[in-house]
Amino acid sequence: MKLTPLADRVVLKLLEAEETTKGGIILTAKAQEKPSVAEVISVGPGGMVDGHEVIMTVKPGDKVITSKYSGTEVKVDDVEYTVVRQSDILAIVE
């Protein structure tokens, strides 16, 4: 199955959270924060959204930082994705 986002939506795959601290302490799954860095999997076409023209500036393969509690989590073929609006993406990581 393939996810194809509509309008200004972007499908992201969250990158793995750090499992150890800088000091070498191993964190349990509950102690790990939800990662805010994700990889762009697919991008909607943009266009008119809520009466405004939206031009998509991210592309598949980009690594981005998102708002902490943004998007909708979806599980497809045992892989977890997050679908967000482009406006929920805060920065592109280079």
Residue 10 or residue 18, greater confidence: 10
Residue 60 is part of a domain; what is its CATH number?
Answer: 2.30.33.40
Digit-coded pLDDT (tens) for 38-83:
999 999 999 998 899 999 999 999 999 998 888 999 999 999 999 9
User: Is residue 42 in some structural domain?
Assistant: yes
Range of the domain at 68: 10-16+34-93
SS (H, E, C) 47-93: EEECCEEECCCCCCCCEEEECCCCCEEEEECCEEEEEEEHHHEEEEE
- The domain tally of the chain equals 1
User: Is residue 25 in some structural domain?
Assistant: no
User: Is residue 29 in some structural domain?
Assistant: no
User: Is this model's pTM higher than 0.75 or not?
Assistant: yes
User: Is residue 4 in some structural domain?
Assistant: no
User: Is residue 53 in some structural domain?
Assistant: yes
